[in-house]
Amino acid sequence: MDDLSIFLQILFWGLYAGCIYILLATGLNLIFGVMKVVNFAHGEFLMIGAYITATIFFLSGINPYLIIVLSMLALIAIGAVVERFCFRPILGTGKLNEIFLSIGLIYIFQNGAAMIWGDAWQSVKSPYDGITVPIGPLSVPLDYIIIIVVTAAILCALYLFLKRTTIGMQMRATSQNRKGAMLVGIDVERIDVISFGLGCALAAAAGTLWVVSGQVFNPYMGSIPAVKAFAIIILGGLGSIPGAIIGGLLMGLAENGAAFLLGGIWKDAVSFIILIVVLVIRPTGLFGGKEG
Amino acid sequence: MRYSVLAIAALLIAAALIAGCSQQASTQQTSAAGSQGVVKVGVIASLTGPASNVGTNMWQSAQVAADKINANGGVTLKDGTKAQIKLVVGDDESTQAGGQKAATKLITDDKVDILVGGYSSAVTSAYEQTIAEYKIPYIVTGASSPIITHRSDIDTSYIFHHCPTTDTYGQYTTQFIDQVIRPAVNKKLGASSDRPFRLALLYQDTAFGKGIQTAVNDTITKNNLNIVLVSQQSFKMGESDFRTQLTAIKAANPDALYLGAFPNEGAPAITQARRDIGLNTIFLSAENNDNAQFYKDVGQYGEGAIIESRFSPYTAPAGTVATDQDAFKQAYFAKFGTYPDMMGASTYDGVFIAAKAIGNAGTTDKATVRQALVDLKMPQLIEAMKDNTISFSKDYRESSFDLWMEQLSPDAKSGETRPSIVWPDNLKTTEFVLPSWYAAGSST
B79 CA: distance to closest CA in chain A (Å): 46
Helix (H, G, I), strand (E, B) or coil at B42: strand
CB contact under 8 A, A13 and B247: yes
Q: Mark yes or no for CB contact A13/B244 under 8 Å.
A: yes
Contacts of B291 in chain A (CB under 8 A): none
Give the chain B residue nearest A9 (alpha carbons).
B247
Judge whether residue B185 has pLDDT over 50.
yes
Pairing between β-strand B159-161 and β-strand B114-117 as defined by DSSP bridges? unpaired
pLDDT-wise least confident of A133-142, B38-47, B184-193: A133-142
A132: nearest CA partner in chain B:
B276
Which of B143, B119, B145, B107 is closest to B48 using CA atoms? B119
Secondary element (H or E) of residue B258: strand B256-260
Using DSSP's 3-state secondary structure scheme, residue A38 falls into coil
Please report which confidence band the pLDDT of residue B444 belongs to, taking 50, 70 and 90 as the band edges: low
A66 in a structural domain: yes
Task: Please report whether residue A96 resides in a domain.
Answer: yes
- pLDDT band per the 50, 70, 90 thresholds, residue B208: confident
Average pLDDT of the residues of chain B: 89
Q: Do A174 and A56 meet the contact criterion of CB atoms below 8 Å apart?
A: no
Question: Which of A239, A223, A231, A219 lies closest to A287 in space, CA to CA?
Answer: A239
On whether residue A128 sits in a domain, the answer given is no
The upper half-sphere exposure of residue A136, i.e. CA atoms within 13 Å in the direction of its Cβ, equals 8
Of A120, A129, A221, the CB nearest to B275: A129
pLDDT at B330: 94
Mutate to test the interface with A, among B47, B53, B247, B277 (most CBs of A within 10 A): B247
pLDDT at B4 over 50: no
Report the distance separating Cα B185 and Cα B198, nearest Å: 10
Give contacts of B268 with chain A, Cβ < 8 Å.
Answer: 123, 214-216
Q: What is the pLDDT of residue B18?
A: 41
Instruction: Give the contacts of B415 (CB within 8 A, at least 6 positions apart).
Output: B299, B300
Contact A204, A75 (CB under 8 A): yes
Predicted local confidence at residue B427, as pLDDT: 87
Whether residue B32 has pLDDT greater than 60 = no
Answer yes or no: is A64 within a domain. yes
| pLDDT tier for residue A274 given thresholds of 50, 70 and 90 | confident
Residues 6+ apart with CB under 8 A from B62: B41, B43, B45, B87, B89, B116, B117, B347, B348, B350, B351
Taking residues A161-175, what's their average pLDDT? Answer: 95
Q: Strand B282-285 to strand B306-309: parallel, antiparallel, or no bridges (unpaired)?
A: parallel
Q: Look at residue B53 and tell me whether its pLDDT is greater than 90.
A: no
Contact flag A224-B238 (C-beta cutoff 8 Å): yes
Q: What average pLDDT does this structure show over A220-227?
A: 89
Question: How much is the pLDDT for B222?
Answer: 96
The answer to whether residue B5 scores a pLDDT higher than 70 is: no
Judge whether A204 and A49 are in contact, CB under 8 Å. Answer: yes
Q: Please give the backbone phi and psi of residue B280, each rounded to the nearest 5 degrees, phi first.
A: -95, 80
> Which residue ranges form the domains of chain B, and what is each CATH number?
37-164+323-390 (3.40.50.2300), 167-309+403-423 (3.40.50.2300)
Q: Which of B244, B251, B272 sits opposite A259 (nearest CB)?
A: B244
What percent of chain B clears pLDDT 90, i.e. is strictly above it?
77
**Is there a domain that residue A186 lies in?**
yes
Count of residues making up chain B: 444
CA dist B256 and B253 (Å) reads 9
Indicate whether A280 belongs to any domain: no
Residue of chain B minimizing CA distance to A115: B48
SS3 B233: strand
Which chain B residues touch A114 with a CB distance below 8 Å? 48, 52
Lowest mean pLDDT among A139-153, B43-57, B409-423: B43-57
Whether A290 shows a pLDDT value over 70: the answer reads: no
Query: What average pLDDT score do residues A100-122 get?
Result: 91
**Rounded mean pLDDT, A73-97:** 93
pLDDT band of residue A1 (cuts 50, 70, 90) is: low
Preceding amide of B424 cis, omega within 30:
yes
Note whether B264 contacts A214, CB cutoff 8 Å: no
Helix (H, G, I), strand (E, B) or coil at B212: helix
Shortest Cα distance from A73 to chain B (angstroms)? Answer: 26
The CA distance from B99 to A193, in Å, is: 41
Chains A, B: CB contacts within 8 A come to 92
**pTM to 2 decimals?**
0.82
- Best residue in A12, A21, A115, A119 for a mutation probing chain B (most B CBs within 10 Å): A119
CA distance A15 to A2: 20
pLDDT surpassing 90 at residue B31: no
Predicted pLDDT of residue A278: 84
The CA–CA distances, whole Å, from A288 to A23, A90, A278, B82 equal 18, 26, 11, 75
Domain contains A258 = no
Whether the Cβ atoms of residue A250 and residue A155 lie closer than 8 Å to each other: no
Per-residue model confidence as pLDDT tens digits over B250-280: 999 999 999 999 888 999 999 999 999 999 9
pLDDT reading at B7 higher than 60: no
Is A112 within a domain? yes
Number of domains in chain A: 1
The answer, yes or no, to whether residue A44 has pLDDT greater than 60, is yes
Residue A114, domain extent: 20-122+137-222
Give which of A21, A20, A105, A33 is closest to A68, Cα–Cα.
A20
pLDDT-derived band at B36 (thresholds 50, 70, 90) equals low
pLDDT class of B20 with cuts at 50, 70, 90: very low
CB contact burial B242-272 (16+ within 10 A = b; e otherwise): bbbbbbbbbbbbbbbbbbbbbbbbbbbbbbb
Phi/psi at B298 (5° precision): -80, -25
Q: Cα-atom radius of gyration of chain B, to the nearest Å? A: 24
Per-residue pLDDT, averaged over B289-299, amounts to 89
Instruction: Return d(Cα A132, Cα B275) in angstroms, integer.
Output: 9
Q: Using the 8-state DSSP alphabet, how is residue B26 labeled?
A: H
Is residue B27's pLDDT more than 70?
Answer: no
For residue B354, pLDDT over 60 is answered with: yes
Q: How confident is the model at residue A289 (pLDDT cuts 50, 70, 90)?
A: low
DSSP state of B106: I
- Amino acid letter for position A192: D
Minimum-distance CB partner of B243 among A13, A114, A268:
A13
- CA–CA dist A91, A124 (Å, integer): 38
Using an 8 Å CB-CB cutoff, list chain B residues near A123: 267-268, 271, 296-297
Q: Which of B417, B401, B429, B373 is nearest to B113 (CA)?
A: B373
Best A8, A11, A13, A211 member to test B by mutation, with max B CBs in 10 Å, is A13
Chain-centre distance for alpha carbon B146: 12
pLDDT for the residue numbered B14: 47
Pairing label, strands B82-91, B75-76: antiparallel
Distance CA B273, CA B251 (A): 12
Q: Return mean pLDDT, chain A.
A: 91
A-chain residues within 8 Å CB-CB of B94? none
Distance CA A124, CA B44 (A): 32
pLDDT for the residue B319:
77
* Residues of chain B contacting A, Cβ within 8 Å: 48-50, 52-53, 205, 233-236, 238-245, 247-248, 250-251, 263-264, 267-268, 271-272, 275-276, 278, 293, 296-297, 299
DSSP assignment of A43-101: HHHHHHHHHHHHHHHHHH---HHHHHHHHHHHHHHHHHHHIIIIIHHHTTS-HHHHHHH
**Cβ pair A216:B267 closer than 8 A:** yes
DSSP letter at B196?
A: P
In total, chain A counts a number of residues equal to 292
